[in-house]
Amino acid sequence: MSATITTAEPQPAPVSRGGRHGPRLVRPAAAVLSGVLLYLSFPPRPLWWLVLPGFALLGWVLSARALRAALGLGLLAGLGFMLPLLHWTGEDVGPVPWLSLALAEALFVAVGCVGIAAVSRLPYWPLWGAAVWTLDEAVRARVPFGGFPWGKIAFGQADGPFLPLAALGGTPLLSFAVVLCGFGLLEAARQLHRYRVTGTVRRAAVAAATVAVPALAVFASLPLVDDSAEDGTATVAAIQGNVPRLGLDFNSQRRAVLDNHAARTEQLAQDVKAGKVPRPDFVLWPENSSDLDPFRNADARDVIDRAVRAIGAPTVVGAVLTPDTGSLRNTLIQWDPESGPGDTYDKRHIQPFGEYMPMRSFVRIFSKDVDRVQREFGPGGKVGVFDLAGTKVGLVTCYEAAFDDAVRDTVKHGGQLIAVPSNNATFGRSEMTYQQLAMSQVRAVEHGRSVVVPVTSGVSAVIRPDGTVVEKTEMFTPAALVDEVPLRSSLTPATRMGALPEGLLALVAVVGLGWVVVRSVRARKDGAAGPGDVPAAP
């Protein structure tokens, strides 16, 4: 077979005859660094661009590696990425949950890196490699226990120039384009060097296209980003009542949390009467703003009634419902100033190991904190869209903002605006609230909707359909955001196509991996392997 080096068949690095340990540590160190660069590209840092050298470095680390070596290098990259990114998960329960989750997510990254190493010998490998990463994200967002999409590359691009692609193909296309551009930078640098040596233009042009095409796609997507008020406007208020103290112990202060949100709403009513702020058409309270079940606790119901009547506008109240039998419910209640509680929405994507505890006896071996979840929550079964003073408001509760289908469903069911009531008190002053805010910015562009995020104690915000944050609060500060937001009903291509772009990119990844298998089988049948047919030794 020919040993000619093609555009997309990177060769193994020559073994250095220098120090025994130095060269062996170069790629592992580079793998960890690539993961750290991915982490640093996420909020609250405005360093979105670090994702590009991060993937260029990861591509170099994995190029022409044997699959076993790629697994180890991928695990190092995954740990460099996930350990700092998910540090907030251990904020109040210690390091065991944090380290366990980070390791699990890093293993997903490692498996994806094996696939990237496998396709790194194919022509046009940046295309195949980016598709494999997108497939890996798709699997990670679904399994196990319903998946954990946190750390999608798309969620680190809320302030970057690639964001308009979310309106074209959702978070899968956004992630794919960013990864493709990062891998493309590596291949373009390689081919530029080869061009200087050989003078071959075609290969350099093809490599440059892997960077240019995503950039051109961004420009083509710009007209899809529109914050005009198709259906007029609505004046919305987001209440942040704050919590008495940080951490899980805030649950023991449930009445204080409710009183805080009621008091801040009543203060808003006074400000409206004084002409300091406009009267809101409707009001949004956060998730868990009433952990006392207002259907079973008369005092809690009276507190909410008094606050809602004072502001004189329909209000969405986040409550924990405690039926006599069965699971608890993390519920949003539509509360009318005249008729009281009405429609409800039960959170559909509930959080494993937080709102319910899978494998309880096994997890108890590692942490007794498992028993803090004494009564588990159950998932709801219907999409949440409330009619609030004539505005169709799609409801996504906290953790659900990470799931493509949860947000998309509310828009397809008529939501003109998206509300993301959240409770971040458990995670203290960590980066969690900023990571979640970035998700909401991406969702705004993805579906062409204003997004309002009322949070108990984190960063509450009002976001325009173009992803711009126009108002936000400080952490652990009582506040009320009042803003006139544009309402929209048209559907972006991303909303219309749903999971189709993700499915197509997954198919591209499968085709690339299948091509690798076919080449390997043919090489074995021929009794000899060319440089592009089987993995090189590590």
Angle at which helix 254-273 crosses helix 298-311, to 10 degrees, equals: 20
Which pair of tokens denotes residue 141? 């967002």
- Which position among 91, 287, 355, 502 bears the catalytic label? 287
287 as an active site residue: the answer is: yes
Integer-rounded Cα Rg, in Å, for the chain is 25
Cα–Cα distance measured from residue 355 to residue 321, given in angstroms and rounded to the nearest whole number? 13
Q: From 309, 311, 320, 310, select the one nearest 257 (Cα to Cα).
A: 320
Q: Which two tokens stand for residue 308?
A: 């809602």
- DSSP-based three-state secondary structure for 243: coil
- Angle, alpha carbons 445-446-449 (nearest 5°): 60
DSSP-derived secondary structure letter, 461: E
Catalytically annotated residue among 91, 137, 181, 347 = 347
Residue found under tokens 């937080």: 354
Secondary structure of residue 228 in the 3-state scheme: coil
Residue type, 240: Q
The C-alpha angle with vertex 409 and arms to 290 and 435, in degrees rounded to 5, equals 60
Residue whose pair of structure tokens reads 């914050």 in the numeric block: 227
Rounded to an integer, what distance in angstroms lies between the CA atom of residue 60 and that of residue 55? 8
Across the strands, what pairs with 340? 336
**Beta strand 282-284 pairing with 417-419:** unpaired
Residue 2, Cβ density class (10 Å: 0-12 exposed, 13-18 middle, ≥19 buried): exposed
Asked if 113 is an active-site residue, the reply is no
9: annotated active-site residue: no
Cα 431 from Cα 438, distance rounded (Å): 11
Encoded tokens for 462: 């009002």
Q: Are 448 and 345 spatial neighbours (Cβ–Cβ below 8 Å)?
A: no
Of these residues, 91, 152, 355, 398, which one is catalytic? 398
**Amino acid in the structure at residue 55:** F
* SS (HEC) of 301-339: HHHHHHHHHHHCCCEEEEEEECCCCCCEEEEEEEEECCC
Residues with catalytic annotation?
Answer: 287, 347, 398
